[in-house]
Amino acid sequence: MGFISYIRNRIRRGSQDRFLVRCVKKLQVYQYGWVEIKDLNYYDSVREYCKENYCHQYGTNWACPPGMGTIDECRERTAKYERMMLFSKVYHLSSTDLVTDAYENPEVLGMMKDFRDLTIDLQDMAKERIEDFFIYTNGACTICKECTYPDAPCRFPDKCQPALEGTGYMISELANAASMECFIDPKNIIFFGAIVYNYK
């Protein structure tokens, strides 16, 4: 690569990074940071935890295991990209008791929907400047009232955003790599999402 091409590439990379920063700030995320794709780790233990099905979503939709693919398939999908931006949003719980049965509580379910709406909005915004990207969100897909899994292909494969943790990532490890907080206090819950993308 010549010097001029190198400079142009650096300018282009910086421009896309700054664009994404403006996007997540507009969406009022709590924090954001970057993780290098080569530093990502995938854990079978996380998938085993998914099988416990505390969220009642395992085996029910294309965005969660096993519908989202094996860990090797998830690794291959992400490896095609150059960088990951991790972002988070904080939600205040009216009671710490909600954490115990979070997936049964309307308040927490509403927070999860709000975060999914945020990642869908980010997807729409990113299309303006980023040609090649993929978004991971928190929890199961909620686009369709009833998912086609496992009887038929996903109705909206371009909109379906897989679960970040279900991919096999340890959220605390990602947060640490991106210099972000993973826990505040028992009355605040943090949801994480990520966008992986290529520079073009």
Please give the pLDDT value at position 6.
44
pLDDT at site 184: 80
pTM of the model: 0.89
Structure tokens at 155: 């109705």
Q: Which residues contact 65 (CB under 8 A, 6 or more apart)?
A: 47, 50, 51, 58, 59, 163, 166
pLDDT of the residue at 3: 47
pLDDT at residue 54 in the model: 85
Exposure class string for 36-75: b at 16+ Cβ within 10 A, else e: eeeebebeeebbeebeeeebebbebbbbbbebbbebeebe
pLDDT tens series, the chain, 200 aa: 554 444 445 445 678 999 999 999 999 999 999 999 999 999 999 999 999 998 889 999 999 999 999 999 999 999 999 999 999 999 998 876 655 566 778 888 899 999 999 999 999 999 999 999 999 999 888 889 899 999 999 999 988 999 999 999 999 999 999 999 998 888 888 999 999 999 87
Which DSSP state fits 36? E
